[in-house]
Amino acid sequence: MTGSWARTLAVAVSLGGTVAPCARAQSADLPSGVVITGRDLGLVAAATLGTAVLSRLDVPVAHRFGDSAIHARHPGLTTAATRTSVVTETLLMLAGGTVYGIARLRHDDGTADVALHTTDLGRARPYVIDAADERRDSDPYDFELLHGFTSFDYRSFPSMHAMASVAVAAALSTEMRERGTPHRAVISPLLYVGAAMPALARLYLDEHWVSDIAFGAFLGAFAGQKVVTYSHEHPDNRIDRSLLGHRMNVGFMSGARGLSFFASPF
């Protein structure tokens, strides 16, 4: 086996470790209901293998987007990408930290694992700043365990920008499907186009490998759809109760005794 394929296999093993704890935690959390199905496991396996194979394109794609001539010819695009990245960076870092903190308080190890993988896997970005404070190209298979906690250059995998934005788009699209929202066939694609913008901006700015984006997008779509589907299938779940409180159906009804007021929980 060549060194390149060996490193690709190592990426596949790392990816498998990312999603397996989440699946186990969710299954154990809800023994009375099936959360992770056989189809889900098949999707996870396919995404894992696909991301590992896609990692072989990381360097060519990074060189293409990192071409200084392209940035010089399209300064407006570079400015727009930078602004898009800056606007989302702080929000997503706060969101990731909040999700991790809440998950730890709730002893939800699966969610905590996903929220933390950006830092604990420690994958180098397409470029890093070396000891001489100079920018240099990086190796897409450069993983340093826990290095993401101490270096911004090692917070590449998976892309939190892709994960968060696609999760929102997937959740909204799934909610519209559940409610039969008119014009969903037009609105949903627009949501996903918008969700792709922050991730593509990071790719254009040489902040992520293409496989970072791909696996982050998969995790976002998987999580967004699962959350909404589970909420609709289990409307009385503890998370909805704590966040939404008790909901009441209130109104007036006419009967043999005349008009009467009613209020009942649902």
Q: What is the pLDDT of residues 101-110, one digit of tens each?
A: 555 555 544 4
**For the residues 33-39, what does the mean pLDDT come to?**
67
Q: What's residue 54's pLDDT?
A: 78
Q: Which two tokens stand for residue 106?
A: 């709730």
CA distances from 35 to 14, 17, 38, 43, 248 (A): 23, 19, 10, 14, 28
Contact criterion met (CB below 8 Å) for 216 and 160: yes
CA distance linking residue 26 with residue 35, whole number of Å: 7
CA angle at 17 for the pair 203 and 208, rounded to the nearest 5°: 10
Please report which confidence band the pLDDT of residue 131 belongs to, taking 50, 70 and 90 as the band edges: very low
Please report which confidence band the pLDDT of residue 51 belongs to, taking 50, 70 and 90 as the band edges: confident
Q: What's residue 182's pLDDT?
A: 78
